[in-house]
Structure 1
């Protein structure tokens, strides 16, 4: 089968488009014929091995060479074959998942417990936009943020992959949603359900005197101390990400926010789906919202499979509204 293989850290040019053996599903695994995948910051962080501090952390990309050789953390496709212990799926089923690796190939093996039926309303392309970004938004709002109906939530970075899902999920949960984005995406963020939109090129959301019950910070564009100023006394600050860097960013931003958390009245949390053990349950919860028409993936751009390096390069530049997807 064809796959993009990462043999050493580097730019998108480091991805080797080559033929490798088709994987064989083990016990409890499902072999998926990949019809679509997506690219996101997780992929290029793993591709470059940045920030360098992450290489020293448990679950990091690997110290000298990549632990993950086939990137692609979102998969949508059809079941090709199943391992002997698989009971829920059979060949031909349409599925989607967040296996954390393997999506940049024609076939991927996925644990049965990480797989869910593809929402009927979505194409493969749309479904591939969902898993990592939408689950990050869901975990950040529902689990870390403990969002309740009627609360006020501010979503910094509301036009990106996580942000576009977060606006819709928060609205579906009955919150009053304010989104922060650039001038070119104001109409988009308003169209997907934000009650109010702040253009960060015209207004600093940390200086306007408004208060929120929850801040979901996808952008990391303001210091944690400034972000806490917009929170109610018992509000919650949930960190998703921030600008990348070679050495510390965005890890340093997260560490600094979490370090002072015990000394302030507001809660601080981190939306981390990489270590989450409830991904199938979360996918099913998202499917229910999708089938009810409460959330719809925002797909900004689609690339053919052989152009994955160009797709990563485009996504790495930032400011892409919604998701960048790949079709096979």
Structure 2
């Protein structure tokens, strides 16, 4: 079978290859999925660039692709129920070394890392929502505990996590301010943003205050944290070494510190995500679709 693999750390065109590999076999508690679609996420880019080599190591090849949508074709012992033929979506574990990731023709994952995919979505639409949608859901529901009627700023609102956060906040009845490039304003308004600010001409000191700030960029964290209202909360999913330092330093602000988390969605989160899709609160935003063979030339730099 074919799988996209990282042969060393570097730029996508230089180090991503489509290789022939053996089809994996499911072990105890695992499920084999024929992948129909996978998406490119920020985590994939960070791993491929070498920024996470302390975790991913220096043994190659490495699989790429955190998420997938596809059809169950087999399972190992201990998997309850017959799932063969079921359309599912899920993830591989982000902190484990994988020779085969979601960007492959088949993938094996533990049964508790997938759930039935929403029937109304195509495979590409479903894959576009798995990691991005789950990350947004954990951020607003669990990390900052967004409440109806609050004023929310979504920074980096045009990205995968941002578009999902805008929709989830809108569905909750919040006043949503989206910060993104001006050209994305019509699309973000359509997704539920009450106000769209051009990040190129908007500085943090001229906006707010907000009850909640959802950041997907990972820079200027203290500047945006300062725009919180009394009792406000902030979460970032844009992690880097400077961002981690800023998060640690913000602990002196107590409840108004910058929060973060490890987005590692299991079946429970994926089922909740599917419920939001089914209810109409969340819909996918797909920029472009490419065959597996073109992954090295169409992955984010």
TM range (shorter): over 0.9
Unpaired stretches in structure 1, ≥5 consecutive residues: 243-249, 317-328
Q: For 1:288, which of 252, 268, 275 is the aligned residue?
A: 275
Quote the offset at 1:253 in angstroms. Answer: 1.4
Is 1:44 aligned with 2:45?
yes
Give RMSD over aligned pairs: 1.6
Distance 1:88 1:168, change over 3 A: farther
TM-score normalised by structure 2 residue count? 0.93
2:249 pairs with 1:252: no
Structure 1 residue 264: Cα displacement: 5.1
| Structure 1 length-normalised TM | 0.85
Contact 2:26-2:76 at 8 Å conserved across structures? yes
Sort the Cα spacing of 1:89 and 1:282 in 2 relative to 1 into closer, same or farther, 3 A: farther
CA distance in 2, matches of 1:18, 1:265: 48
Structure 1 CA distance, aligned partners of 2:283 and 2:207?
Answer: 32
Does the CA-based 8 Å contact 1:78-1:91 persist in structure 2?
yes
Going from structure 1 to structure 2, the CA distance change for 1:89 and 1:273 (only over 3 Å counts) comes to farther
Map of 2:23 onto structure 1: 22
Q: For residue 120 of structure 1, give the secondary structure of its aligned residue in structure 2.
A: coil
Aligned to 1:324: none
Matches within 5 A, 1:153-164: 153-164=152-163
> Structure 2 CA distance, aligned partners of 1:70 and 1:45?
13
C-alpha spacing 1:162/1:188, structure 2 compared with 1 (3 Å): same
Q: Secondary structure at the match of 1:301?
A: coil
1:165-210 superposed Cα distances (whole Å, 9 cap, x missing partner) = 0100111122211100001111111110011111112222x12242
Alpha-carbon distance in structure 2 between the residues aligned to 1:167 and 1:120: 23
Shift of 1:147: 0.6
Quick check: 2:250–2:257 contact (8 Å CA) kept in 1?
no
Residue 241 (structure 1) aligned with residue 238 (structure 2) = yes
The answer for the alignment partner of 1:142 in structure 2 is: 141
Q: Say which structure is richer in helix.
A: 2
Per-residue displacement from partner, 1:19-67 (whole Å, max 9, x unpaired)?
Answer: 11100000110000000001121111111211xxx433xxx222x345x
SS state at 2:62 partner? coil
Segment drifting more, 75-84 vs 11-20: 11-20
Distance 1:307 1:219, change over 3 A: same
Matches within 5 A, 1:1-328: 1-12=1-12, 13-50=14-51, 54-56=52-54, 60-62=55-57, 64-65=58-59, 69-100=62-93, 102-204=101-203, 206-221=204-219, 223-241=220-238, 250-263=240-253, 266-274=256-264, 279-312=266-299, 315-316=300-301
Q: For the residues of structure 1 that align with 2:144 and 2:191, how far apart are their CA atoms? A: 21
Deviation, 1:285, is: 0.8
Structure 1 range deviating more: 169-178 or 22-31: 169-178
Contact 1:9–1:65, Cα closer than 8 Å, also in 2? no
Report how many residues are paired. 294
User: 2:225, 2:258 within 8 Å by CA — same for their partners in 1?
Assistant: no
Contact 1:136–1:271 (CA<8 Å) still a contact in 2? no
